[in-house]
Amino acid sequence: MGIFDDFGKRNPATGEISWFVSGIDIPVEAKKLFVEIREKDYFRNMQLFEFVKEISNFFGKLNTLHPFREGNGRTQRIFTELLAEKAGYKLDLETNIDKQTMIDACNYSMSGDNRKMFVIFFKSCKPTNQPPKKTELKDKTIFFVENEDAATDENIYKKRFR
């Protein structure tokens, strides 16, 4: 194991170390991220270009959390696709995007360059021609992020696996 195995990895796009959020900081950083999207009304009522800019930027930030040992990419793609659906867009991050293209975009995004991520999202997104859904995206996961007292390993385990 190397010195960066727990918190970072060498970014092939730049050669620099790309840092994931450390485990202890995940609840705080996740809360900031989810408050930010709530303040933007979960990206509802945005024109396509603005929506793609916002949601691709969100996706890049979400990637830095990396809370799981396995399944982070799959989880964030599914969550982001559902978020897009609630905003009135169809986002398909599986069909026409190969894994390496997404990895490259994530690496550039972690270095502050979100252009590749924007292109992926722009090519993968279209309006559903239905109004945005007014339901809140409030579930147990977001509850844990917003309620710091609940964000302990023991409480998360109890709530998720009951």
**pLDDT at position 49, please?**
94
Which pLDDT band, with edges at 50, 70 and 90, does 56 fall under?
Answer: very high
Range of lowest pLDDT (22-36, 94-108, 148-162): 148-162
Question: 18: which strand partners?
Answer: 9
Q: Which domains does the chain have, with CATH numbers?
A: 21-134 (1.10.3290.10)
Asked if the model's pLDDT at residue 89 lies above 60, the reply is: yes
DSSP, residue by residue, 84-141 = HHHTTEEE-SSSS--HHHHHHHHHHHHTT--HHHHHHHHHHEEE-SSPPP------HH
Which pLDDT band, with edges at 50, 70 and 90, does 52 fall under?
Answer: very high
Which pLDDT band, with edges at 50, 70 and 90, does 3 fall under?
Answer: very low
Asked if the model's pLDDT at residue 24 lies above 60, the reply is: yes
**pLDDT at position 10, please?**
55
pTM of the model: 0.72
Asked if the model's pLDDT at residue 20 lies above 70, the reply is: yes
For residue 10, give the H/E element and its range: strand 8-10
Query: Distance between CA 92 and CA 125 in Å, rounded?
Result: 7
Query: Distance between CA 8 and CA 2 in Å, rounded?
Result: 10
**pLDDT at position 19, please?**
72
Number of C-beta neighbours around residue 98 at 10 A: 8
Asked if the model's pLDDT at residue 100 lies above 60, the reply is: yes
Range of lowest pLDDT (46-55, 85-94, 106-115, 119-128): 106-115
Report CA-CA distances (Å) from 103 to 60, 106, 107, 138: 11, 5, 6, 29
Question: Which of 86, 100, 88, 98 minimizes the C-alpha distance to 123?
Answer: 98
Number of C-beta neighbours around residue 124 at 10 A: 20
Q: Express each pLDDT in 63-88 by its tens digit.
A: 999 888 889 889 999 999 999 999 99
